[in-house]
Amino acid sequence: MHHFQYKGDELYAEEVAVKDIAAQVGTPVYIYSHATLERHYRAMDGAFAAVPHTICYSMKANSNLAVLKTFFGLGGGVDIVSGGELHRAMVAGVDPAKVVYSGVGKKDDEIEYALKSGILMFNVESEEELDRIDLIAGRLGTKAGIAIRVNPDVDPETHPYITTGLKKAKFGINIERSLEQYKRAAGMANLDVIGIDCHIGSQLTKVSPFVDTVRKLKRLIAGLRESGIHLKYFDLGGGLGITYSDEAPPLPAEYGEAITAETRDLGLHLLFEPGRNLVGNAGIMVGRCLYAKQGEEKNFVIVDAAMNDLARPSLYGSYHGVQAVCRDQQGTIVADIVGPICESGDFLAKDREMPAFRQGDLIAFMSAGAYGFAMSSNYNSRPRAAEVMVKGAAFEVVREREKVEDLIRGERIPSFL
Ligand SMILES: *Cc1c(COP(=O)(O)O)cnc(C)c1O
């Protein structure tokens, strides 16, 4: 039972009618359910109750301060991939000892900022990065906690753009080379070698690739022990999928059971980096129908939200459920839902049977809480959407809709024009 449900013919977010939010805040708008965020966090956290663990929410999925604050209040940390994300997390009150830093391209100033903030560890993704972090930590007179992100060469069987653990991927250090790099890291004066990390991809709908990965990494951990390298943390990354349409991913409890069984005897503190699983189904995006147009061969529902607001359909061909905010439409149509952007790739739904939307109707795009607003842009000089959080019968704007003045902030006409 989730928290975006109809009462009669009206779609609600918890106890708030979605149409009331749209009337007050305008469209397009992202709406997040606090109760759903909390439920998803507790499900993941509870799945590992039997073993020492920390949930380091992968904040690139949705980095709104209100979302972060919700998870921090429940005891979570974060997985960051940039200095900008660290800044957001610090502003939202993260415990730096629960921050892990992933990403293939960490810059000097970002490494420095993370060291000064006292994060738990860097998930190191290349051999050169080890030297870089050692150098910067030395300059600051501190020690950097590190894990090597091991690329296990396991196929997560998901979309190629979000597959990260195959040999051909840019991520991590190949498993065959990892032992040698661990030995090198252990010899560096300013590194504290405390962990091992992996992240094989996103939107996984099976447990087996996770289990295969753990088994491969366990062999490496055994090799490390033989070499006198004793770790504290085993970071299993994120990637557990959600239901957008008819996918049936394992529940956090099943995932927890399988991982716990595989890792229990290691005696390591587990870290998890779930993103999508915590936030995906905790958010919707709502747009308004501007025009309903019958083309020669197709029907188009033209809305005030576009690929700049929700990029996933254009980027990955992803499916988002489409629902009427008020179910008073007569009949259904087969149509594309498209935005105002001047690109044929600007669609939110394709060849979909849907209510016969008319001008002025509000349309909810479901499962938009992950990689939704976070991936939005200003393409076509479109101000980015507002974000709202609902808790029970209350709602507040947690990010104002951008204004046209925001679009040109920082721009200058040069003196020679
Ligand atoms: C994106 C990412 C995650 C989160 O992936 P989800 O599929 O959203 O759970 C976790 N760890 C790393 C390193 C990532 O890049």
Q: How far is the CA of 327 from the centre of ligand 1 (A)?
A: 36
Sole residue written with tokens 């938009």? 368
CA–CA separation, 103 and 61 (whole Å): 14
Residue found under tokens 């005897």: 265
Whether the Cβ atoms of residue 256 and residue 22 lie closer than 8 Å to each other: no
Number of neighbours of residue 212 by Cβ within 10 angstroms? 18
Q: Which domain holds residue 249?
A: 34-277
Contact 281/36 with Cβ under 8 angstroms? yes
Which of 44, 63, 71, 79 has most ligand 1 atoms within 8 Å of CB, for mutation?
79
Q: How far is the CA of 133 from the centre of ligand 1 (A)?
A: 22
289 classed as catalytic: no
158 lines ligand 1 (CB under 6 A): no
Pair (179, 298) in one structural domain: no
Q: Tell me, yes or no, whether 60 and 195 share the same domain.
A: yes
CB atoms within 10 A of CB 359: 11
Peptide bond into 250 cis (omega under 30): no
Tokens 């977010």 identify what position?
13
| Domain stops at, among 253, 277, 301 | 277
Asked whether residue 127 falls in the same domain as residue 173, the answer is yes
Could you say which of 198, 289, 326, 342 is catalytic? 342
Asked if residue 349 is part of any domain, the answer here is: yes
Burial 257-284 (b: 16+ CB within 10 A, else e): bbbbebbeebebbbbbbbbbbbbbbbbb
Dihedral (CA of 307, 310, 315, 319) sign: negative
Domain boundary among 228, 254, 277: 277
pTM over 0.95: yes
Helix axes 208-226, 252-263, angle to 10 degrees: 20
CATH of the domain at 143: 3.20.20.10
How much distance in Å is there from the Cα of 201 to the middle of ligand 1? Answer: 7
The answer to whether position 415 is within a domain reads: no
The CATH number linked to 327 is: 2.40.37.10
Q: Please give the torsion angle defined by the CA atoms of residues 66, 71, 74 and 79, in that order, rounded to the nearest 10 degrees.
A: -150
- Both 20 and 78 in one domain: the answer is no
Q: Same structural domain for residues 258 and 300?
A: no
Burial of 396 (0-12, 13-18, 19+ CB in 10 A): exposed
CA R_g for the chain = 23
Q: How many CA atoms lie within 13 A of 283 on its CB side?
A: 30
Looking at the fold, whether 130 and 225 belong to one and the same domain comes out as yes
Domain-embedded: residue 209 = yes
Ligand 1 center to 265 CA (angstroms): 26
Tens-digit pLDDT profile for the chain (417 aa)?
579 999 999 999 999 999 999 999 999 999 999 999 999 999 999 999 999 999 999 999 999 999 999 999 999 999 999 999 999 999 999 999 999 999 999 999 999 999 999 999 999 999 999 999 999 999 999 999 999 999 999 988 888 777 787 878 889 999 999 999 999 999 999 999 999 999 999 999 999 999 999 999 999 999 999 999 999 999 999 999 999 999 999 999 999 999 999 999 999 999 999 999 999 999 999 999 999 999 889 999 999 999 999 999 999 999 999 999 999 867 999 999 999 999 999 999 999 999 999 999 999 999 999 999 999 999 999 999 999 999 999 999 999 999 999 999 999 999 999
DSSP codes joined into one string, 98-130 = GEEE--S---HHHHHHHHHHT-SEEEE-SHHHH
Q: What is the pLDDT of residue 122?
A: 98
Residue 327 sits in the same domain as residue 228: no
**Residues in contact with 49: Cβ distance below 8 Å, sequence separation at least 6, in sequence order:** none
121 with 82, same domain? yes
Q: Are residues 225 and 371 in the same domain?
A: no
Task: Please check whether residues 9 and 58 belong to one and the same domain.
Answer: no
**Burial call 183-200: b when 16+ CB within 10 Å, e when fewer:** eebeebebbbbbbbbbbb
| Among 102, 163, 235, 242, residue to substitute to test ligand 1 (most atoms within 8 Å of Cβ) | 102
Are the CB atoms for 125 and 222 separated by under 8 Å? no
* Number of domains observed in the structure of the chain: 2
Residue 1's pLDDT is 52
